[in-house]
Amino acid sequence: MLIVVVGIDIALETNILVTKAVLNPAILSVREEEFSCSPMTVNLSNIEYHSRHRYYSIMKELDPPSPPLFRDNHTVLCNESLRSDLGYGYCLPISGRKDAPFCTGADRMDLLTQHSRRTRCYASVLHMLLVEIYEELQAYARSPALVFGSLLGAVRNGSMIPFTEDTDIAYSGELSEDNDVGRALMQKGYHFFHLNIWRVCVAPTHPLAAKLYEPTLPITEAYRVPYLDLYAMEQLNDTAWSVEGYREDIIPADKVKPFSQVIINGLPFDTVHDPNYFLVEMYGDDFMVPKPRG
Sequence ranges of the domains in the chain: 84-283
Which residues neighbour 163 within 8 Å (Cβ) at sequence distance 6 or greater? 98, 99, 100, 103, 290, 292, 293
Angle between helices 122-139 and 180-187 (to 10 degrees): 140
Residues 111 and 96: their CA atoms lie apart, in Å, by 11
Residues 155 and 160: their CA atoms lie apart, in Å, by 10
Q: Which of 120, 144, 121 is nearest to 132 (CA)?
A: 144
Residues 244 and 241: their CA atoms lie apart, in Å, by 10
Contact 92, 38 (CB under 8 A): no
Contact 141, 117 (CB under 8 A): no
Residue 26 is predicted with a pLDDT of 57
Does CATH number 3.30.460 belong to domain 84-283? yes
Burial class (CB in 10 A: 0-12, 13-18, 19+), 17: exposed
Q: Which of 67, 9, 64 is nearest to 210 (CA)?
A: 67
Q: Which of 225, 28, 79, 55 is nearest to 135 (CA)?
A: 55
Residue 294 is predicted with a pLDDT of 60
Mean pLDDT, consecutive 10-residue segments, the chain of 294 residues?
Answer: 33 31 46 78 90 92 89 96 95 96 96 88 98 98 98 98 97 96 96 98 97 97 98 97 91 98 98 98 94 72
pTM of the entire predicted model: 0.89
Which residues neighbour 69 within 8 Å (Cβ) at sequence distance 6 or greater? 36, 37, 38
* Residue 191 falls in which region: left (phi positive, over 0), alpha (psi -120 to 50) or beta: beta
